[in-house]
Homo-oligomer: A and B are copies of this chain.
Amino acid sequence: MIKNILAAALLIAATFTTVSAADLTHKHALNLEVAKAIAAAGEAHARANNWNVIITILDDGGNMLYMQRMDGAQIGSIAVSLRKAESAINFKRPTKVFADGIATTPGLAMLPGAIANEGGLPIVVDGEVIGSIGVSGVTAQQDGMIGQAAIDALPKILGN
């Protein structure tokens, strides 16, 4: 048993090669501090309108980075907010595009990982999609306004 583990360790050591990163792609990445600030901007817009929503923020890999549910928001909007954010990062476009298109392209309803309701938006920096936000809890149009307010706060958050 011990011998097997040693053999495995040697194999792994032989497999890993230390290389320089010069040839790799580089990408911007959201971090928790920025995600919190984006969500706070969305929450501020929601509170100003007495709207209670869920806000979910995903990174560029579609993995959850931040989520908050305002008091009184319906629990079904937890999954909807997540799905909107997933749709936005999955397809690098706002969910409004699908909401607008589904009447003439009903096949969109069968697109895995997509949702045809406004309120999901990609987070874009220097033309690069670095994450997404999903908002749900009020009407789809209002959800979209909250998401847009969060996105519009980005330049200020990033100090531009």
Contacts and interface: CB of A to CB of B under 8 A. Distances in A.
B17 A124 contact: yes
Interface residues of A, number: 98
A45 interface: no
Contacts of A130: 21, 24
Contacts of A8: 93, 97, 100-101
A41 interface: no
B113 A107 contact: no
A103 to B, nearest CB: 6
A28 B17 contact: no
Interface string A69-84: 1110011111110010
Interface of A, helix, strand, loop or mixed by DSSP: mixed
B106 A116 contact: yes
A34 interface: yes
Contact of A79 (B26, B59, B65, B112): B112
B99 A74 contact: no
Interface in A96-134: 96-117, 121-122, 124-128, 130
B111 A80 contact: yes
Given A8-B93, A11-B94, A111-B117, 4 more contacts: A19-B155, A80-B112, A107-B116, A110-B116
8 contacts: A15-B151, A17-B124, A17-B155, A32-B69, A61-B75, A98-B107, A110-B116, A110-B117
Contacts of A127: 16, 18
